[in-house]
Amino acid sequence: MDVKQGLVVEKSDFISSSLTEIVDYRGDVTLFLDDNSSTEGYVFDVVGDHFHFYPSVGDKQEIPIASVVKIEVTGKDTAEGKSWEAWVAKKAEEQNK
C-alpha cells in the first residue's frame, strides 16, 4: 500500500501490514470512530489492539482499533522528498560555513 495524503483505509481493509504503514507515515491522519466522532493527529504505534495516538489537540491517547471504522491520511508527510543523503549533504554544508 502506498500511504500518501488523501488515502482512505476502510475498516474492512485493516490488516497488520496496512496498520504498520499508517504508523510509518510521518503525517497526520484522521481516525473516524464507531460513535460517529473523529479525531486528527499522529498514530505513532500499534500495541496489541490499540493505536497510540497524539491528537492535534490534547494529550496522548490509546484508541482501540476495534472502535476505528475508517482512517484517512489528511496531513502531509513531513519527510516527503527528504532523504538521508540530503540530510548528510545539508549538515556537511552547514559545517563548512
Q: Identify the three-state secondary structure at position 48.
A: coil
Assess if residue 2 is contained within a domain: no
The CATH number for 91's domain is 2.30.30.100
Answer for the pair 29, 43: CB distance below 8 angstroms, yes or no: yes
pLDDT surpasses 90 at 4: no
User: What is the H or E stretch that residue 55 is in?
Assistant: strand 50-55
CA distance 18 to 25: 11
Assess if residue 53 is contained within a domain: yes
Structurally, the chain folds into a number of domains equal to 1
Could you tell me the pTM of the whole model?
0.69
pLDDT of residue 53: 94
Assess if residue 66 is contained within a domain: yes
User: Exposed/middle/buried for 31, CB within 10 Å: 0-12, 13-18, 19+?
Assistant: buried
Each as own residue / partner, the long-range contacts of residues 40-45 (CB below 8 Å, 24 or more positions apart, any chain) are 40/74, 40/75, 42/75, 43/71
CA distance 3 to 26: 10
For 28-57, how does the pLDDT look when each residue is reduced to its tens digit (9 = 90+)? 999 999 999 999 999 999 998 999 999 999
